[in-house]
Amino acid sequence: MHLDDVLKLDIKLLVAFVTIMEEGSVSRAAERLGVTQPALSKSLQRLRELFKDSLFTRQAYGLTPTARASELQDMIQPILSSLSELMSPNSLDLKNLDRRFKLRVDEGDLENFIEPLLASLQYQAPAMRLSISTWGDTHLDELTSGNVDLGIMRINDTPSNVRSKLIGYMEACIVLSEAHPLFHKDEVSLDELLSHKVVTHHLRSHRSSSFSKTEQKLKQQGYVINPTLETDSLMVAMQAVKRGMALVTSRSIGDLFINVMCEKANFYPVKLLPIPKQVLEIDDFNGRHPIHIFWHERFNNDLAHRWLREQIVFFMRESPWMHLPD
């Protein structure tokens, strides 16, 4: 059969042929397909012309397929089955899902969901693998290039081919040890905070950050935030706090510091203080900044991808540190 003949082949003709084969009667096949007998007889005539064979011979008890018709049935049935499978909804077999997902998320946000997520994966998708690392300087470029499957960050603006969903709002805090001169206070002013050494952990100041506008307002008031130390390492941040620096970080990391440092030997007591009121008054989010999850458009209808991101959103919203959107 040449390409021109293939283009003449209507899927409805194949369905009609298989139905006649199964029913052994044009009238019964027409009733089953919901068409008139003359219409189905025309389809049978087109099939005979296309395959250059009578296909059926009439017997007293119905139609008998020719040898050519039997050969065609063996070839057509798999085609119709494949087409049916093609049109059926995708299914997700989590138990046997052997796939690796790359995530970009900072530790302050990771603390919100990693423990329950790993437990869920172990039970529901034991073959799924994760690669988790913090954001680099390229930010969302890794998502648009396809090198990263999912990202979580405190930004609003995204490229047109990157989708996002608001998870909730997270507040920051200040972590002080007894070695810090302001440890005895219950709250501090911005002047007091900046008059001593400050370390930041995963608090980014790039232009897409939700804090960038607040930072610009502070500069207009003469406050330039230049941390003595910026780090992505919890160990480095802990040592900085131990030596008297004030750590500005997320509330989840602040609580983690409390739990870890209380168990470490030879470590000063630590406490959490709120962000200075002067900062909150000019902050568009009043200290509670939005956290979004991001993914490339190409993964939007991917069932496994959707399942993973919905798991992360659910666990983050269940976190004690997350303030839910209205």
Span 123-144, average pLDDT? 84
pTM more than 0.75? no
**Assigned CATH for 3-87:** 1.10.10.10
Percentage of the chain beyond pLDDT 70 is 90
Containing 311, the helix (H) or strand (E) segment is helix 303-318
The pLDDT tens digits of the residues spanning 134-189 come to: 887 666 778 877 788 999 988 767 777 888 899 999 888 999 999 999 999 999 99
Residue ranges per structural domain of the chain: 3-87, 100-318
Taking only the tens place, the pLDDT of each residue in 54-104 is 998 888 777 888 999 888 888 888 888 777 766 655 678 899 989 999 999
Q: What is the structure's pLDDT at 111?
A: 87
Task: Say what percent of the chain tops pLDDT 90.
Answer: 33
> How confident is the model over 6-46, as pLDDT tens digits?
666 778 888 888 888 888 888 888 888 888 989 989 988 98
CATH number for 100-318 (one of 3.40.605.10, 3.40.50.360, 3.40.630.40, 3.40.190.290): it is 3.40.190.290
Q: Helix, strand or coil for residue 210?
A: coil
Residue 202 confidence (pLDDT): 67
The region that residue 301 occupies, defined by phi over 0 for left and psi between -120 and 50 for alpha, beta otherwise, is: alpha
Q: Is the pLDDT of residue 205 over 80?
A: no
Q: Beta partners for 170? A: 289
One-letter amino acid of 321:
W
Q: What are phi and psi of 71, to 5 degrees?
A: -65, -45
Q: State which amino acid sits at residue 140.
A: L
